[in-house]
Structure 1
Amino acid sequence: MFNLAEILCLSGLHVTILLSDYTHHRLLRHASFDSRFSSYTSFRVATISDGLPDDHPRSGSRVVDIVQSLGEVGGPQFRRLMVSSDAMSDGGARPRVSCLIMDGMLSFPIPVAEEMGKNEDKLTFWKSKEMDLMVTSVPGMEKILRRRDLPSFFRVEDANDVVLQSIIEQSKRTRQAVGLIINTFEDLEGPILDQIGKHNANQNPYSIGPLHTHLKELQKAKGMESSHHSSSFWKEDDSCIAWLDSQPPDSVIYVSFGSVATLTRDELMEFWYALVNSGKKFLWVVRADSIVGGGIGNEIPVELEEGTKLRGLMVEWAPQELVLRHKSVGAFFTHSGWNSTIESIVIGVPMLCWPYFADQMVNSRFVSEVWKIGLDVKDSCDRLLIESMVREVMEVKRDEFLEKARGMANMANKAICEGGSSHVNLNRLIQFFKSTA
């Protein structure tokens, strides 16, 4: 969302980004948030409460509480914000809001927007027993998706499950949008984009990704210096770059399960044994809040401590894009969040996928079965299996994965260059925005 906001600012549009108070506080503490947008007079931040207590973890399985809470408290706050924005606009301080862009899971502004005569843009979604049966009811996915590849909130016994019903409601609202902004590119997901277009005939899909590299390309075209900006809830540990500098090329597997996924201590130990026993060097991001029920603890087996000292480094957070681009990194062990997936695709790094929830389940399947740039190890946390897969992605099938990954990286970079599909679609999107003003 920050990449998109900066792209829109560079395109001459006024942008207000709406954050929860919690998110805003974390960004001010740990991210280069203020400096990144300081030169854009057309950018501002607005905040509202997400309605959760200060000590709520907002991670792991509890992350869905944010969606449900904002569904209850977000609407009235958003209405007050919009009324005050319109009052400011009357005085000429800032143009009136002419378009809203929302994440598909957070549709609480829609009733307010309809009431006030606004338009919006968003995204979309889809239960199970025999997990390896194919899903035949999603057009274009008949030979790709198994039941285990669907998001976990569809794997319920009761159709009245609260989370499932919330997702269904969010999905229905997607059809009210006049367009879909999608962080992908046509060569990567052309058949899927075609299906989205058929499913939502009244909507215009704008695939303008990969957003993070598209932003860099726009900055270069305008003679601006592109620099690394953190948009993270966590303080980045740059010391890992110096450690990577001391490692041979393509020798390290980078391990990170993102900013939301949590592990049990048993899962942590299975991963740890797998990494140490693989004999490969590893850089592993272990957040302070990533272990359910507390930290790693003091009772760590000697073989893990010694193996990590010999071949590994563990940090609380890392500058991920810089790490993925480093010459010593040979593969990415990831939770398959879309930001991580698209960053890896752009750089051409093979992936080993252990998805946690939501779209990650589908993303990991595409990595292994459609794009064939890595392996999918979902629904399993066995040290022997993971050890074998680490060796496979780093050694046995490395050349095969690398060839396909580099080809995909070339396609990603062509998409954002002048005349490329994402470049053309961004121009269409900017013209749409300007026509609504």
Structure 2
Amino acid sequence: MSSETSPFRIANFRAFWLARLAMTLAQYAMMLIIGWQTYNLGRDGGMSVGEASGQLALIGLLQFVPLFLLTPFTGLAADRFDRRNLGRLTVLLQLLCAAVLAGFTWQHAISLWVLYGVAVVLGIARAFAGPALSALAPNLVPAKILPNAIALSSIAWQSGMIVGPAVGGVLYEVAPALPYGAAGALFAISAIALSFISDVPRGKPKSPAKPIKQVREGLEYVWRNKMVLGSITLDLFAVFLAGATALFPVYARDILQVGATGLSQLAMAPAIGAALTALWFSFRPLRNNVGPLMLLAVAAFGMATVVFAFSTSMPLSLAMLFIVGAADMFSVYIRQSLIQLHTPDEKRGRVSAVSQLTISASNEFGDFFSGSLAFLIGPVAAVALGGVGAIATVALWAVLFPVLRTTRTFDPPEELVEEDHARGETAPRDPAKEGA
């Protein structure tokens, strides 16, 4: 990547990148330990594998419900208020959650009810954070290097997913409260980094429509734009069905029998695959056959999930999870580039909110689905069935959304380019003046 095409030449993007890295490190260190404590509290309390899996399902559901209820309005907030301030407030709320968990764990008073309550608050924080930060990123760089910025932003996210669980697992072995303390410090760094982002140009709504109407406009835009709708819902159903991450504590303790250290390795494997894929795209951006390649990546995601489900070998399990992460990042890179470049800036907050809702449905509600299915038919069958479902989703979406099969480049429609140029507010006017 040349200096002219590197988003890191823009100071605002550098601050954003650091903020996202610190926040993701904290989130994944914290969430790994929340899942581990939840599962162990259930098992040590006399629950069966299936019953303890049900507790993991409940943690996912409690995070999803506030996201589901609040997302339409959090997207509107991202379009109407300063996205930097929203980001800072949500990071500080997550810092508070880390402090509560650290305190209860330190006092040996952690319980399922404490974990349930924190899960709800985390769901509220993430409901606001996702649309605000996703919609902020395109305002920081020129449109022509946005795919590079998305790849680099994904590196921060995936790096956090790699290092976060590793740090969480290691620190938990030293002292159970230590991962939460480290997470709190990282959230503080993230809030400070967001404070260094200067005021940036952004699109403004065309008319002072009432809030409910603006929410409806965002939903209608997603429904009309089949590229955006197909990309968002492909991820929704594929990851919803094939999400195995919620059951990592089950595999670590009762199937692969590798303990807390192995749990960290299971969580790291898909993140390593994803980070390496994002790193590749940051230097070699994808330019051709983006739609067909996204479909193939999701199919590979499903196939690797099926193999992981039946594996009783730690090396094979890690290899399959590596492929899962690489394939997922491949599709994420394409999907996010298409969604951002095919959406007008004045609607990006609301469209990002819809995307956030589907990501949450596929992740947190997917965790609930996987845990519930594991309770009914066992963890191995649940993961395998989900992988098959992801493959079937690809086949069905290729028929329902032919635009996904025929899209060759990231280039947005001409009318959208003309609209953004006329508005002149979708990217920094002069990167040098933005602190390059």
Normalising by structure 1, we get a TM-score of 0.31
> Which has the higher relative contact order, 1 or 2, with Cα contacts under 8 A spaced 6 or more apart?
2
Name the structure with the higher helix share: 2
User: Could you say which structure has the larger radius of gyration?
Assistant: 1
Normalising by structure 2, we get a TM-score of 0.31
